Structure 1
Amino acid sequence: MDKWKRVFIYIFLSVAAFISIFPFLWMIISATNKSADVTKGRLLPGSHLVDNITNLFSKVDFVPALLSSAKISITTTVLAMLIGSLAGYGFEIYRSKAKDVVFNILLLSMMIPFAAIMVPLFQMFGGISRVIPFIGLDTVSGVVLPTFTTAFLIFFFRQNTKMFPKELLEAGRIDGLNELSLFFRIFMPTMKTTYAAAGIITFMSSWNNYLWPLIVLQSPEKKTIPMLISNLGSSYSPDYGVIMMAIVISTIPTALVFFLMQKHFVAGMTGSVK
């Protein structure tokens, strides 16, 4: 009975894995076919891989979009790691009733959908553009500033800081380290798995962000990858082979980041500290 139960479990998991991975496989196969074959649902690799790559890089501003997305995502991730971890560290290590009230207000802000604050944010950055042009509309700063840290990220760092051995801080204070040195020289190296998990989440979220960059970035040369792919799909005669190739290439950075940091990601999500 146990043998048949195990066989059933393996069959079920195999079917579930195939269903999960099939869209990605179909996307890769479609990137090798011409547009007409993609619309027909062809499931066999074609001979138009080189043509699709050539058309993508010669007829579409794909490289500038890649660079724009990379600049925004890397900047957002670095700032998010610094600000989010500082806030989470401060809320947990230097606890007080006033800080708990502020933290609870931050958690309540997670219930507000972005669509509700989108128009006020646009008006605010429109006003900033008239005073400080380099952090207003149509700038990288305008995309990064509202998104580089979130209440979830602060909550994530605070919860993981609960697992941090406070004795290390006391030992650092005895050795004469100030509070910033304690954070940068003791806390950050110890919590590297937490930083890895938060970095993956933030980078993937920023790389795939579509709505806010669409509102803020108005120059064609500043388009991000999601904006470019959306424009390709909404053209009068979309080339689905090129679109699929663009999607395949655009998933490579996030896939690399995840697989290279997968072990740290799992450890960080489970709250382990080494």
Structure 2
Amino acid sequence: MTRSQLRRLPSYLFLAVSAFLSVFPLYFMAVSATNASRDVLGARLVPGGEFMANLDKLLTQHDVGAALWHSAVIAVGTTVLALVICSIAGYGFEVFHSKGKDRVMALLLLAMMIPFAATMIPLFRMFADFGLVNSSIAVILPFIATPLLVLLFRQAARSFPHEIVEAARLDGLGELNIFFRIFLPTMRSTLAAAAVITFMMSWNNFLWPRVILVNNKYQTIPMLISNLRAGYVTDYGVLMLAVLIASLPTMVIFLVLQRAFAQGITGAIK
């Protein structure tokens, strides 16, 4: 082993340990889904033969399909609406720039410091007055315009050549056409990054759906997982299988869009 390789050895060891610590919880989750509850509590690290039994218990005792459907509707609806609204807002903040808009943006960023728990009760009362309790709309609406995504699109719009906007205006193209036909196609990586962030946050959202979806008939997959631990005895094999099923959509979304996600985040930071 050369001297340069010896100098890099601590870095390799650190990366190997970090990779192991990152992957091990996923491995343990997948393995535990195939074991009985007593084996999970005993920290068994090899696959077992209880996968089909755990799956049968999960599907017969709980409406997993409905929970996945509700989570998918909420996550996809939130993602689509958030991308449209926040991209338009970010575009407007930068293309129609003014000092007043900078102050509004500063207020929006300050609003990120307010914990959601502080606004949850007023939100619940507002949606209750409109008769939207136990509806997907009430879960979606509070998260379709977030300061983080507006800032992400605003930063991305700063790299967009304003000369193209001026030329399109001279050619008689309207602002909406400029936005949808010229601006958005160049923001694919930013859209992918925003989509990953929004989908994962919405899919894993637990607190607000638990508050606004009073009836378990409308429960999402995180609520179902919480209910698995609500009894006197917890079947950890079934619980781990439910967690595995709930994790698969976010894993797939991230793996498919990971390159565009990295490009979008890097572009926004620049």
TM-score bin, normalised by smaller chain: over 0.9
Structure 1 CA distance, aligned partners of 2:20 and 2:177?
Answer: 49
Match of 1:252 in 2: 248
In the superposition, the TM-score normalised over structure 2's length comes to 0.96
Letter matched to residue 83 of structure 1: I
Letter matched to residue 27 of structure 2: L
Letter matched to residue 260 of structure 1: V
**How many residues are treated as equivalent by the alignment?**
266
Q: CA deviation at 1:175?
A: 2.6
- Paired residue for 1:225, among 208, 221, 226? 221
- Paired residue for 2:90, among 88, 91, 112? 88
SS of the aligned residue for 1:145 comes to helix
Letter matched to residue 121 of structure 2: V
Letter matched to residue 111 of structure 1: M
Structure 2 CA distance, aligned partners of 1:220 and 1:8?
Answer: 51
User: Is 1:55 equivalent to 2:51 in the alignment?
Assistant: no
Structure 1 CA distance, aligned partners of 2:136 and 2:20?
Answer: 39
Of all paired residues, the percent bearing the same amino acid is: 50
Root mean square deviation, CA, Å: 1.1
Q: CA deviation at 1:88?
A: 0.7
SS of the aligned residue for 1:191 comes to helix
Q: CA deviation at 1:95?
A: 1.0
CA spacing shift, 1:93–1:245, aligned 2, 3 Å: same
User: Is 1:239 equivalent to 2:235 in the alignment?
Assistant: yes
SS of the aligned residue for 2:142 comes to coil
Q: CA deviation at 1:57?
A: 1.6
**Consecutive unaligned residues in structure 2, runs of 5 or more:** none
SS of the aligned residue for 2:160 comes to coil
Letter matched to residue 58 of structure 2: L
Structure 2 CA distance, aligned partners of 1:19 and 1:118?
Answer: 35
**Consecutive unaligned residues in structure 1, runs of 5 or more:** 130-135
Q: CA deviation at 1:72?
A: 0.1
Q: CA deviation at 1:2?
A: 1.7
SS of the aligned residue for 1:5 comes to helix
In the superposition, the TM-score normalised over structure 1's length comes to 0.94
Letter matched to residue 72 of structure 2: A
Letter matched to residue 120 of structure 1: P
Match of 1:132 in 2: none
Q: Deviations over 1:36-81 (max 9, x none)?
A: 1111111111000111112212221111000000000000000000
Structure 2 CA distance, aligned partners of 1:44 and 1:51?
Answer: 17
